[in-house]
Amino acid sequence: MNLYLQYLTALAPEVIVVATALLVLVMDLVLVREKPFAQRVGLTGAIACMGCGLAMVWVELVPCSIHSAMLSVSPLTQWVKVPLLLLTIFAAVLSWNERFTRHAGEYFALLLLAAAGLMLLVSSESLLMIFVALELLSTSLYALAAFDKSGVASSEAALKYFLFGGMSAAFTLFGISLIYGIAGDIQLDVIATRLRGHPVEPVFYAALVMTLVGFAFKLAAAPFHLWAPDVYEGAPTPVASFIASGSKVAAFFVLARILLSAFPGARGTASLGGHLPGWAPLLMVLAVLSMVAGNVAAIVQTNVKRLLAYSAIAHAGYALLALLADRRHALSALLFYTITYAFTVLGAFAVVGVVEESGRKASLADFAGLSRRAPLLSFCMLVFMLSLAGIPPLSGFFGKFYVFTAAADTAPKLSLLWLVVLAVAASAVSLYYYLQVLKQIYAVAPAPASAWPRPALSARVAIVLLAAIVIVLGCVPDLLLGKISELLKSNSF
C-alpha cells in the first residue's frame, strides 16, 4: 500500500495531466456542447492550461525520488518536466484562437495526452516504458497533426508523420529487442552493468544502429528527416510548434539517458583520426548530415514553416554535438540548448500562426512589411530568428556556444574540433536565410491594400513572454544553467 502511495506521489504530475485530459473531454461533451465555439475553446483550453499548471506546481513543491525497474523519478527528471509543461501551456494558449477545428475537447485532450507522454518519457527507466511513452506521445501527435480537416495538407502531413513514425517505432523496437538479447534486461542501469567491458560486436552495433535510427526519425535528424518539412507545413500551426519544441526536448533527453546511462562503455570515438566503433561515430554521421542538409535546404525555402523545419533539422545536428561531449558537460549543454531552442521555435511558430490567422499563408512574401503593421510582433520575430541564427545576447547564441565549447572540450582535447568548425560554418550559412525572413518583415514594403486584424490578446501575450524568455535566458544564462548544473551535481540522472 505504502509503495503504491509512493508511486502515486511520484507520478502525480502525469496523473494530473491525464485526469485533466479526461475532464476536458467530459466537459466539452456534457457541459458546454451547446455554447458558442469561442467559449468552448476558451473554457477547455483554460482547464487544460490549469491542469498543466497544477502539475507544474506539484513538481516544484513535492520533492520525490524513486528508482525502480520501470521508473526513475529524480529531482532532475522532475525538473525537466517543468519546461515541458510550460511548452504545453504555451501551445495550448496559442491554439485558443485557431479556427481549424470544431472539436475543442478532443483537441486539448490529445494535447494533454501528448504532454503526459512527454513526461513519462523523461522518467522512464526501462526500454519498454520508453517505447510505450514514445508511442503515447506519437499517437497523440499523429491525431493532432490531422486535426485541420478543412485542408488536404493536414491529412497528408498526418499520414506522412504516421508512416514515418510507425517505421521508426519498428526500428526502435527491433533495436530494443536486440539489446534485450545481448544484455538480458531492459532496465537501463542493469544494461549498463551487464554490458560493462562488452566489445562492440556486430550484433551490438546493429542494436545501436536500430535504436538510433528510430530516435533519428523522432528528432528529424538527416537522413531521416524527410517527414519534417511536410508535417511542419501541413499540420495546424500550434501542433507543428508543439512537435518542433516539446517532443524535441523530451526525445533528446531520453536519447541522452539511453546512451549515457545504458551504454557508457560503447561510446567509440568520433574524432577524425582513430576510429572506434560505438554510438559516437553514429551520432557524428547524423550530426554532420543534419547540419549540412538542413542548412543547405533551408536556403531555398520560400515558406516560413518549411524554412523552420529545415532549420530544425540543422538544430538537431547542433544538439547532437552536445551528446558527443564529455559526460560532465554533455547533458547540461544538451538541456540548455534544447530547452532554449524549444521556446524560440515555439515563438517563431506562434508569429507564423498570427500571420496565418490574418488570412495570409506562411510564404515569405506574406511577411512583407509586417513591422509597419505590428511592430511588437515583428520585434519578437526578430528575437526568435536572431536567436535561432545564434546572435548574442539571445539564448540561442549561448546554447550554441556552450554546445560547441563542450564538444571541443571532449577528451582528448580538440579531437572534435573539426565538427565544431563545421557547425560554426553551418551556422554562419544559416544567418542568410534567417535574414531573408527579417528582410521581408523590416525592409520590404507591405502590400498596399491588405487587412491586418489585431491579433488576439492571448497570442500576443504568449509571444511577448516567449521573446522575453529568449532574451533573459540569453543575457543571464545562469538562471537555467545554474539550476541544471546543481541538479546534475546531486545525481547523474
Partner 1 sequence: MLAWTIYISFLGAALLMFLPGENPRPAKVAALLAALAGLACAAKGAIECHLHAGAGALTDVANANWIPELGIRYHLAADGISLVLVLLTGIAAVAGVLFSWNVENRSREFFALYLALIGGVYGVFLSVDLFLLFVFYEVAIIPKYFLIVIWGSTRREYGAMKLALYSFVGSAMVLVGLIAAYVMAGARTFDLAALAKVHFAPAFQNWAFIVVFVGFAILAGLWPFHTWAPTGHVAAPTAASMLLAGVVMKLGAYGALRVAMTLFPVGLHTWQNTIAVLAVVGIVYGALVALVQQDFKFVIGYSSVSHMGFVLLGLMTLTQIGLSGAVLQMFSHGIIAGLLFAVVGRMVYDRTHTRDLAVLQPKNLNQVLPFAAVTFVVGGAASMGLPGFSGFIAELQVLVGAWQTFPVFAVMAAVGILAGVAYTLRVLLKAFFAEGQVEAREPLHCPRISLPERAGALLLLGTTLLIGLCPQLLLDFITPSLNSPLMQPLWKAGTR
| Contacts to partner 1 by CB under 8 A | 332, 371, 379, 386, 391-393, 397-398, 401-402, 404-405, 408-409, 413-414, 417, 420-421, 424-425, 427-428, 431-432, 435, 438-439, 442-443, 477-478, 481-482, 485
Show the cell assigned to 265. Answer: 562503455
Q: Which is nearer to partner 1, 353 or 399 (CB)?
A: 399
Q: Which is nearer to partner 1, 21 or 383 (CB)?
A: 383
For residue 122, give the nearest of 11, 250, 15, 255 by alpha carbon: 250
**Those residues with Cβ within 8 angstroms of residue 64's Cβ, 6 or more apart along the chain or in another chain:** 9, 10, 73, 78
Which whole-number Å values give the CA distances from 201 to 27, 172, 193, 212, in the listed order?
55, 19, 17, 16
Min dist CB 441 to partner 1, Å, is 10
State the burial class of residue 202 (Cβ atoms within 10 Å of its Cβ: 0-12, 13-18, 19+).
exposed
Min dist CB 474 to partner 1, Å, is 9
Q: Which is nearer to partner 1, 29 or 428 (CB)?
A: 428
Min dist CB 348 to partner 1, Å, is 17
**Which residues are registered as beta bridge partners of 73?**
66
Q: Which is nearer to partner 1, 51 or 317 (CB)?
A: 317
Min dist CB 431 to partner 1, Å, is 5
Centre a 10 Å sphere on the Cβ of residue 411 and count the other Cβ atoms it contains: 10
Q: Which is nearer to partner 1, 107 or 402 (CB)?
A: 402
Q: Which is nearer to partner 1, 46 or 435 (CB)?
A: 435
Q: Which is nearer to partner 1, 89 or 288 (CB)?
A: 288
Min dist CB 322 to partner 1, Å, is 14
Distance from C-alpha of 464 to C-alpha of 225, rounded to nearest angstrom: 30
Asked if 162 and 142 touch (Cβ cutoff 8 Å), the reply is yes
Q: Which is nearer to partner 1, 178 or 391 (CB)?
A: 391
Min dist CB 410 to partner 1, Å, is 9
Which whole-number Å values give the CA distances from 27 to 106, 146, 287, 295, 347, in the listed order?
10, 23, 45, 45, 29
Rounded to 5 degrees, φ, ψ at 301 are -75, 145
